[in-house]
Structure 1
Amino acid sequence: MLTRGSIRTLGYAPAQPPWVRKEALKIGISCFGVGLGQAGGVQVYLRNLLRALARHDFSKNEYVLIAFPGGGRPDTPDHRFSVVELRWPSGRPVSNWRTRLMKLGLPGLSDPFSAQIDALALDLVHYPGTRMQEFALRTPVVLTFFDMQEEFFPAFFPVRERFGRLLAKRRAVSRARTVIAPSRFTAAALEKRYRTPREKIACIPAGVGPEFSPFGAPGERERLCARYGLPTGQFVFFPANPWPHKNHERLLRAVRRLSEKLGSAVPVVCTGRLEGERRSVGALAAAAGLDASQVLDIGFVDSAQMPALFRAAWVVAFPTLFEGFGLPVIEAMASGCPVACSDVPPLKEIGGHAAHYFDPTCEEAIAEGLAGVWQDRALRSALIERGLDRAREFGWDRIVPAILEAYERTARSG
Structure 2
Amino acid sequence: MTRKTVRIAMNGVTGRMGYRQHLVRSILALREQGGLDLGDGTVLWPEPILVGRREHALKALAEKHGLEHWSTDVDEVLADGSVDIFFDAAMTSGREEVLKKAIAAGKHVYTEKPTAVGLEGAIELARLAREAGVKSGVVQDKLFLPGLLKLKRLIDGGFFGRILSVRGEFGYWVFEGDWQEAQRPSWNYRAEDGGGIVVDMFPHWEYVLHELFGRVTSVNALATTHVPTRWDEDGKPYAATADDSAYGIFEIEGGVVAQINSSWDVRVNRDELVEFQVDGTEGSAVAGLRNCRVQHRSATPKPVWNPDLPATYSFRDQWQEIPDNTEFDNGFKVQWELFLKHVYAGADYHWDLLAGARGVQMAELGLKSSAEGRRLDVPEISL
Instruction: Settle same-fold status: TM greater than 0.5.
Output: no
Band the TM-score falls in, shorter-chain normalisation: 0.3 to 0.5
Q: TM-score, normalised by structure 2?
A: 0.40
Identify, as 1 or 2, the structure richer in helix: 1
For CA contacts below 8 A with separation 6 or more, give which structure has more relative contact order: 2
Q: TM-score, normalised by structure 1?
A: 0.37
